[in-house]
């Protein structure tokens, strides 16, 4: 099984805590956050990972090299930021399997990614999005679900409980990208939202622990709350 991790973020909101290192390399419990994600993938049976990197990617490459705990590691290197969509499209060109798991490099989700792959296949979906319930969706925006499909998205800022996009996707290597998309684009805003009817994404519900380290207070939380992972 094969995965892509989006690890090219600048980490602007964490600049004071990162001391110049890439956001996915933020230390959590004495090891880089990215190492926690790779360990999780290894435990789920993944054997190959493409790291989509950009900002100070040499730090990541020097740390992990070409393998981690028996998993093969490749690199999709952005000379200029491509956005989440551009990064996924570029990294998929290096994939060797038909279905690929994509993870955000600043988000931890306690999910079963083998089960997610099986769900994706059973649904015959072009795209499957992991979703999880949060007590307040204001920071993340919400997703609207009917049955096993996602039918809409809610903008950030609306408070209250609901489902959110948990930052994990099953996607096909041969995904059909709209011809009008530029080299740099947002996967969420420029692809998923306008293409939702055509793509008809499946919704994979995850009840496990979720944490986005993108803001300083949640990076602080990660030091204790991810200690067991």
Q: What are the CA-CA distances from residue 46 to residues 2, 24, 50 (Å)?
A: 6, 19, 11
- How many distinct structural domains can be found in the chain? 1
Q: What is the pLDDT of residue 14?
A: 60
Instruction: Quote the domain boundaries for residue 39.
Output: 2-225
In the block, residue with structure tokens 């900002």: 55
For residue 204, the domain's CATH number is 3.90.550.10
Instruction: Tell me which DSSP letter residue 189 carries.
Output: I
Q: What is the pLDDT of residue 15?
A: 54
Q: How many CB atoms lie within 10 A of CB 60?
A: 25
Taking the chain (229 residues) in consecutive chunks of 10 residues, what is each chunk's mean pLDDT? 90 62 87 94 96 92 95 95 96 96 95 96 97 91 94 86 95 96 96 95 95 85 83
Rounded to two decimals, the pTM is: 0.93
Q: What are the CA-CA distances from residue 20 to residues 15, 30, 87, 168, 217 (Å)?
A: 7, 17, 21, 26, 18
């Amino acid at each position: 099984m094969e995965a892509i991790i989006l690890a090219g973020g600048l980490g602007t909101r964490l600049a004071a805590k990162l001391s110049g290192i890439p956001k996915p390399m933020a230390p959590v419990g004495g090891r880089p956050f990215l190492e926690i994600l790779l360990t999780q993938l290894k435990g789920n049976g993944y054997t190959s990972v493409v790291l989509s990197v950009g900002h100070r990617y040499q730090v990541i490459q020097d740390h992990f090299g070409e393998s981690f705990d028996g998993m093969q590691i490749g690199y999709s290197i952005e000379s200029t930021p491509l956005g989440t969509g551009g990064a996924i499209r570029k990294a998929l060109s290096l994939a060797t399997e038909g279905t690929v798991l994509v993870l955000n490099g600043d988000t931890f989700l306690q999910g079963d990614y083998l089960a997610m792959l099986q769900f994706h296949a059973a649904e015959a979906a072009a795209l499957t999005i992991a979703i999880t319930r949060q007590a307040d969706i204001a920071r993340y925006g919400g997703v609207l679900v009917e049955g096993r499909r996602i039918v809409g998205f809610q903008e950030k800022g609306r408070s209250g409980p609901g489902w959110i996009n948990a930052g994990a996707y099953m996607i096909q290597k041969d995904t059909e990208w709209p011809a009008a998309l530029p080299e740099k684009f947002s996967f969420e805003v420029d692809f998923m939202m306008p293409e939702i009817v055509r793509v008809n994404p499946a919704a994979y519900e995850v009840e496990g622990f979720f944490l986005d380290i993108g803001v300083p207070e949640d990076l602080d939380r990660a030091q204790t709350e991810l200690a067991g992972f």
